[in-house]
Amino acid sequence: MRTPSLLSSALIGAVASARAMTPMAALAAARLAGRRTPGRLVLLDQPLFRFGALAMGAGELAGDKLKSAPDRTAFLGLLARAMSAGVAGAALAPRGREKAGAALAVAAAIPLAYLTLAGRKRAMARFGQTRSGLVEDALVAAAGAGVVALAARRG
């Protein structure tokens, strides 16, 4: 099943709003599984990039549970989200529409980072940092994998 036009780009931007590295890790995992993205992305063909994206995705999931973890709306957090969303949005856009996919993903990621942070803070107050983070991790990882699975095809 294929998702229409730029929908995958917008959805991967929403994923990046909650976890900056998850879109890249999902794309890297799909590439390792032999799946191809509609848009061109040369970086995904480089083994160092693939394994680096997976490691950064795992590191972010672990680091998010630390009390010292900065808010996702801090400058560097927003920058990481914008970069990851842009690259992933381009990769999931139809060929020839990569720039539009990147722009749409970034346009979704940045404002949604504030919304997902507000939701996470409410969950933290009720369930604690670790438990709320683990639930958010599961939801975001599943969403990222699902978006990439719907957009990617067997290579």
- Closest residue by Cα to residue 25 from 137, 121, 153, 111: 137
- Residue 147 in this model has a pLDDT that exceeds 60: yes
Average pLDDT, the chain: 91
- Residue 18 in this model has a pLDDT that exceeds 90: yes
CA gap 49, 42 in Å, rounded: 10
CA gap 155, 113 in Å, rounded: 32
Question: Between helices 129-151 and 98-127, what is the axis angle to 10°?
Answer: 160
Please state the rounded mean pLDDT for residues 21-48: 88
Q: What is the pLDDT of residue 24?
A: 94
Q: Determine, yes or no, domain membership for 11.
A: yes
Q: Determine, yes or no, domain membership for 1.
A: no
Q: Determine, yes or no, domain membership for 2.
A: no
Please state the rounded mean pLDDT for residues 1-23: 88
- Residue 76 in this model has a pLDDT that exceeds 70: yes
Q: Which residue did the predictor score with more confidence, 66 or 113?
A: 113
Q: What is the largest CA-CA distance in the chain?
A: 45
Q: What is the pLDDT of residue 71?
A: 87
CA gap 88, 146 in Å, rounded: 13
Q: Determine, yes or no, domain membership for 51.
A: yes
pTM: 0.90
Q: What is the pLDDT of residue 1?
A: 44
Q: Determine, yes or no, domain membership for 80.
A: yes
Please state the rounded mean pLDDT for residues 93-109: 95
Q: Determine, yes or no, domain membership for 72.
A: yes
pLDDT tens for residues 110-129? 999 999 999 999 999 999 98
- Residue 46 in this model has a pLDDT that exceeds 80: yes
What is the pLDDT confidence band of residue 40, given thresholds at 50, 70 and 90?
Answer: confident
Of all residues in the chain, the percent with pLDDT exceeding 90 is: 70
Report the domain count for the chain: 1
Domain that holds residue 26: 7-154
